[in-house]
Amino acid sequence: MRATTGAVDTDGGMEPSFLALPLAEVTDAALAEARRLGVRHAAVRVVRNRARRLLLHDAHLRGSQDDTELGLSVGVLHGGARGFAAGPEVDPAAAVAAVGRAVQVARVCRAVGAEPVELAPEPVYADRRWTSRCRVDPFAVPEAEAVALLADWSRGLLAAPVVRHVLAKVSAVRETTWYADTAGTSLLQQRVRVHPQVLAVGVADGATATLRTLGPPTGRGWEYLHGTGWDWAAELAEMPEHLAGKLRARPVRPGRYDLVTAPSHLWLTIHESVGHATEADRALGHEIGYAGGTFVTPADVGVLRYGSELMTVTADRTDPYGLATVGWDDEGVAVGAWTLVRDGVLSGLQTDRHTAVRLGSARSTGCAYAESATHVPISRLPNVSLRPTPDGPDTAALIGGVTDGIYLVGSDSWSIDTQRRRFQFTAQRAYRIRHGRLGEQLSGVAYQADTTDFWGSLVALGGPGTYHCFGADLCGKGQPVQAAAASHGAPTAVFRGVRVVDTAGEEAR
């Protein structure tokens, strides 16, 4: 794994009100109490999360929310068991009390026979700072200005005869975190992400269809809504035509087709069938009670044929605009990039400091993350991406090489079994391909496959010009459930002979 060991150059600034908190006093009090109680390892986290959301219906504001959550937590390793405690007060007395509660939890865990915990070693990073690449603070943008922009987008769509209603929304999140532990690491970091989204409802000849923008959530600031990183004007201008085509779409005829997948669609298949399937905690038998396990085992690394030789998938927490990008994870591990699948063979897993020890790894890959100060850090996805072919063709050439197929754009519904094996995915838009030519839109298209069979059917990948990152900003995992965000990049890809069904259960006429 390639690890970072210093701050990242960014355009953003740390939240001043967070810097005014008594972080040094809280840390000194908590760590001194931990040492007094004989704690082997202790970590203090102070986290302030701010989330802002706006919702417009037909260009009129229907909902506005701006929430801030501040808290302090302490995690300890005592007597071979973990303990955790948290609360909303950020002061030395609260920190000392949290240490005491965390030690009590560790004692109870040890008494009931909890699995012994060891943490992989990690270098010390003292007085380090990292901020994400945010040029325009979304929380500094007046609400009236934000509403005006979304309303303008909405009115442009409503002017099209095919569009009956428009929902427009945007969410912005800023996470500011202080981390310090008994080893001497002390870290201050902040990341910002935004997610605009517009949904158009179309009606024609008694039929109704919906279409969402493809623009993904991203680790940028408000500049993203003004065209930095995504051409919103171009996408919104094309939506009425795409929506009209969706209203005219005829049902797909079930059968086997070659699938050409746009990155805007394939990212979700990567997320569910590769990203979650290669989490070490699942491979070790955890998470089965809620979000499910995985067919992958630790013994499969270096052996399992995951897909065709074209398939190389990387994990990365350093991508400049990735949703899972940070400087260090919530266990004080410097993040980096590594390979999960190389030339079709499973080559790695995602670990935190505990699962790294279980797997015999020298150090964690930096995948521990907690939704807030009140949550325990658990193993969460980095940015997981399918790599393009360096000299690969463009999308038009890939489509041109398909005789009988379907082109899929945008993510929609999905389902996958508890072992990340059998799945079904649908798309925002699906187009018939005949003899290398793109035809009409189809309705009801869903494809079903086994994970390794599907990736084994990968026969072509686009070049770097077809590559783009998408992602999920509300991925759930854990008990109690925690939300996390991760980006997933992909080029245009071609899969041979995949089973397609009609979700309406009708044969094409």
State how far the Cα of 258 lies from the Cα of 405, in Å rounded to an integer.
4
Query: Tell me, what amino acid is at 113?
Result: G
At 172, the pLDDT band (50, 70, 90 cuts) reads: very high
> Does one domain contain both 108 and 34?
yes
Determine the distance from the C-alpha atom of residue 202 to the mean position of all C-alpha atoms in its chain, rounded to a whole number.
Answer: 30
> Does one domain contain both 376 and 235?
no
**Position 305 in a domain:** yes
- Tell which wins on pLDDT, 274 or 115: 274
Exposure of 445 by Cβ count < 10 A (0-12 exposed, 13-18 middle, 19+ buried)?
buried
**Position 509 in a domain:** no
Return the pLDDT at 291. Answer: 85
> Does one domain contain both 184 and 285?
no
Q: Does pLDDT of 2 surpass 80? A: no
Q: Does pLDDT of 506 surpass 80? A: no
Residues 6+ apart with CB under 8 A from 125: 5, 185, 186, 187, 328, 332, 334
**Position 261 in a domain:** yes
**Position 188 in a domain:** yes
Q: How many CA atoms lie within 13 A of 379 on its CB side?
A: 25
Task: Read off the pLDDT of residues 304-334 as tens digits, 9 standing for 90 and up.
Answer: 999 999 999 999 999 999 999 999 999 999 9
Q: Does pLDDT of 507 surpass 60? A: no
Angle at the Cα of 481 (from 479 to 485), degrees rounded to 5?
Answer: 135
Task: Read off the pLDDT of residues 387-410 as tens digits, 9 standing for 90 and up.
Answer: 999 999 999 999 999 999 999 999
- Taking CA atoms, 153 is separated from 75, 158, 159, 440, in Å, by 46, 9, 10, 27
**Position 73 in a domain:** yes
Return the pLDDT at 9. Answer: 35
Task: Read off the pLDDT of residues 90-143 as tens digits, 9 standing for 90 and up.
Answer: 999 999 999 999 999 999 999 999 989 999 999 999 999 999 999 999 999 999
> Does one domain contain both 258 and 239?
no
> Does one domain contain both 216 and 287?
no
Q: Which of the listed residues 223, 248, 273 is the one where a domain comes to its end?
A: 248
Return the pLDDT at 10. Answer: 44
What average pLDDT does the chain have? Answer: 95
> Does one domain contain both 191 and 290?
no
Q: Which of the listed residues 191, 217, 248 is the one where a domain comes to its end?
A: 248
At 508, the pLDDT band (50, 70, 90 cuts) reads: very low
Q: Does pLDDT of 175 surpass 80? A: yes
Domain limits at 452?
Answer: 251-502
What is the DSSP track for 191-209? EEEEEEEEEEEEEETTEEE
> Does one domain contain both 257 and 154?
no
> Does one domain contain both 325 and 433?
yes
The answer to whether 498 and 457 are in contact (CB under 8 A) is: yes
Return the pLDDT at 1. Answer: 52
Across 17-43, average pLDDT = 97
CATH code where residue 166 lies: 3.30.2290.10
State how far the Cα of 264 lies from the Cα of 462, in Å rounded to an integer.
14
State how far the Cα of 369 lies from the Cα of 191, in Å rounded to an integer.
13
Across 428-455, average pLDDT = 98
- Taking CA atoms, 83 is separated from 76, 103, 108, 182, 366, in Å, by 5, 6, 9, 15, 20
Return the pLDDT at 295. Answer: 98
Task: Read off the pLDDT of residues 339-348 as tens digits, 9 standing for 90 and up.
Answer: 999 999 999 9
**Considering only CA atoms, which of 503, 507, 508 is closest in space to residue 445?**
503
> Is residue 43 within a helix (H) or strand (E), and if so which, with residue range?
strand 41-57
> Does one domain contain both 337 and 485?
yes
Task: Read off the pLDDT of residues 191-238 as tens digits, 9 standing for 90 and up.
Answer: 999 999 999 999 998 899 999 999 999 999 999 999 999 999 999 999
How many structural domains are present in the chain? 2
> Does one domain contain both 169 and 275?
no
> Does one domain contain both 227 and 315?
no
**Position 507 in a domain:** no
Q: What percent of the chain has pLDDT over 70?
A: 97
Q: Does pLDDT of 5 surpass 70? A: no
**Position 44 in a domain:** yes
Q: What percent of the chain has pLDDT over 90?
A: 94
Q: Which of the listed residues 187, 214, 248 is the one where a domain comes to its end?
A: 248
Q: Does pLDDT of 11 surpass 90? A: no
Across 439-464, average pLDDT = 98
> Does one domain contain both 229 and 123?
yes
**Position 231 in a domain:** yes
Across 435-445, average pLDDT = 97
